[in-house]
């Protein structure tokens, strides 16, 4: 089967019931999405499909019909994505394990809602857990990125 990840088409030979997270990490060597819980509870494996933040551990690769975006494809030759830069500026990460998933959920949120309220952010980010408790800095970074994107 073929899947498109970060704009690149890949032919992969896997069982269609393989979770997308496995295909990304173990077959395609795309390591941005992280394995946290494997059961859809933590958000560490979040990718974007059809504009939605999706748990790749709960998505079967055989069900993929549209392009997949992972954190590995956010930056380009011009530099970091504004959400990544905001994360740096707010020094969000602590251990960092959850942050790739947090950033992908934030990107999906801001692409759907360019000026989210605190409640919007809390609703969009509720499925992304952070055992280090970086939630206040995540919220600040999303507001900062919204401002940057509005001025872009
Ligand atoms: S690893 Fe997918 S939600 Fe936790
Ligand atoms: S920064 Fe450590 S789990 Fe979120």
The ranges assigned to domains in the chain are 2-71, 82-151
Which residues form the pocket of ligand 2, taking CB atoms under 6 Å from any ligand atom? Answer: 93-99, 130-132, 134
pLDDT at 146 (0 to 100): 97
Fold of 2-71: Ubiquitin-like (UB roll) (3.10.20)
CB burial of residue 77 (10 Å; 0-12, 13-18, 19+)? exposed
Q: Which two tokens stand for residue 136?
A: 């206040």
pLDDT at 8 (0 to 100): 98
Nearest to 76 by CA among 7, 18, 19, 24: 7
pLDDT at 151 (0 to 100): 82
Q: Output the pTM of the full model.
A: 0.97
pLDDT at 81 (0 to 100): 97
Which residue's alpha carbon is nearest to atom 3 within ligand 1?
Answer: 40
82-151: which CATH architecture? Answer: Orthogonal Bundle (1.10)
- Which numbered atom of ligand 1 lies nearest the CA of 21? 2
Ligand 1 site, residue 57, Cβ cutoff 6 A: yes
Mean pLDDT by 10 residues, the chain (152 residues): 97 97 98 98 98 98 97 96 98 98 98 97 97 98 96 75
């Amino acid at each position: 089967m073929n899947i498109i990840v970060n704009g690149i088409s890949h032919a992969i030979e896997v069982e269609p019931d393989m979770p997308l997270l496995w295909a990304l990490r173990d077959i395609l060597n795309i390591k941005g999405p992280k394995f946290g819980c494997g059961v859809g509870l933590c958000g560490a494996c979040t990718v974007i499909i059809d504009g939605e933040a999706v748990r790749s551990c709960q998505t079967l690769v055989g069900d993929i019909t549209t392009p997949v975006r992972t954190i590995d494809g956010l930056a380009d030759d011009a530099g970091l994505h504004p959400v990544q830069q905001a994360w740096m500026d707010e020094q969000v990460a602590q251990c960092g394990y959850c942050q790739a998933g947090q950033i992908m959920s934030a990107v999906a949120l801001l692409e759907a809602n360019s000026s989210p309220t605190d409640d919007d952010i809390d609703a969009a980010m509720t499925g992304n857990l952070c055992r280090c408790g970086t939630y206040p800095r995540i919220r600040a970074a999303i507001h900062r990125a919204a401002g940057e994107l509005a001025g872009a």
